[in-house]
Amino acid sequence: MHLKLPNKIIDSLRRMLPAFIVATIVTFTVGIYYAILNSPPDYLQGDSMRIMYVHVPAAWLALSSYSFLALSCIAWFIFRNPIFNLFAKSIAPIGATFTLIALVTGSIWGKPTWGTWWAWDARLTSMLILFFLYIAYIMTWQTITNKDLAAKISAALGIIGFINIPIIKFSVDWWNTLHQPATISKLSAPSIHISMLTPLMLMTFAYVLFLITLFLIRYKIEILDQKILRVSS
């Protein structure tokens, strides 16, 4: 079985790669302008709250990337089409990087607001586990030389790790944590002012474009890797 449609979509997206790169740079410029210069400080936290504009989108995309990875693993398990492994392999290092960005910026934010770089609360710990899950997934492919075996083990790992995503999301509601609950997903009154929501949304948009750009590049590399393997074997 061969999936023609995803390949077709990715081919046409790849032709738009230069446009994605330009769009990423432009939105990041506008987003950072709003985040640093054209938005007010927080009434309580002052300027340190601006770290949110890099921290929150990174965390959102770290979770979304893992969901995409896990869904690809499930699709591979059911349909056994190697294209799904390429999806998962392409997104893994990107997701790991976003997780690391969220962890590091969170730590830098934590020091001036909470008074500590790190706390072993449920949100922070489950986020660290997410980082290890990404690393484990990447390492499975790199250390197991038998590709069929690597596919099976990495898919199992990716699927089992999926359980961590709702744990991260709801950790702040289920348990007492130092980390505050979500600002955006609340259905009640908005708890962030529009002048701060604008830079946050711009930065999120920039992050998404950046993610797509990186994914297209990574996917191309994975395809080339496969071709080299086929020729050399």
Partner 1 sequence: MSKKVKKRLITILLSSLVLIIATLLITMNLKDNIIYFYSPTELQGASIDKKNIIRVGGLVKEDSYEYNDKTKIYSFIITDNSNDVDVEFVGIMPNLFAENKGVVVEGLAIDKKKITAIKVLAKHDENYMPPEVIDALKKEGQWQEK
197: burial class by Cβ within 10 Å (0-12, 13-18, 19+)?
middle
Task: Please give the DSSP secondary-structure letter assigned to residue 118.
Answer: -
Q: Please identify, among the stretches 4-12, 21-29, 127-135, 167-175, the one whose residues bind partner 1 according to the rule CB under 8 A.
A: 167-175
Q: Please identify, among the stretches 16-24, 117-125, 134-142, 145-153, the one whose residues bind partner 1 according to the rule CB under 8 A.
A: 117-125
Applying CB under 8 A, among 67, 149, 180, 227 the residue interacting with partner 1 is 180
Using CA atoms, how far apart are residues 68 and 82, in angstroms rounded to an integer? 15
Instruction: Compute the C-alpha angle 93/165/62, nearest 5°.
Output: 35
Closest CB 51 distance from partner 1, rounded Å: 12
- Find the Cα–Cα–Cα–Cα dihedral 42, 46, 47, 50, rounded to 10°: -40
Applying CB under 8 A, among 3, 21, 108, 119 the residue interacting with partner 1 is 119
Residue 178 binds to partner 1 (criterion: CB under 8 A)? yes
Whose tokens are 């976003």? That residue is: 98
Instruction: Find residue 46's DSSP bridge partners.
Output: 42
Closest CB 173 distance from partner 1, rounded Å: 11
Residue 113 binds to partner 1 (criterion: CB under 8 A)? yes
Residue 182 binds to partner 1 (criterion: CB under 8 A)? yes
Q: Site residues for partner 1, window 26-45 (CB under 8 A)? A: 40-45
Instruction: Find residue 42's DSSP bridge partners.
Output: 46
Residue 79 binds to partner 1 (criterion: CB under 8 A)? yes
153: burial class by Cβ within 10 Å (0-12, 13-18, 19+)?
middle
Residue 129 binds to partner 1 (criterion: CB under 8 A)? no
Residues forming the site for partner 1 (CB under 8 A): 40-45, 49, 52, 74, 77-79, 112-116, 119-122, 159-160, 163, 167, 174-178, 180-183, 186, 191-193, 195-196
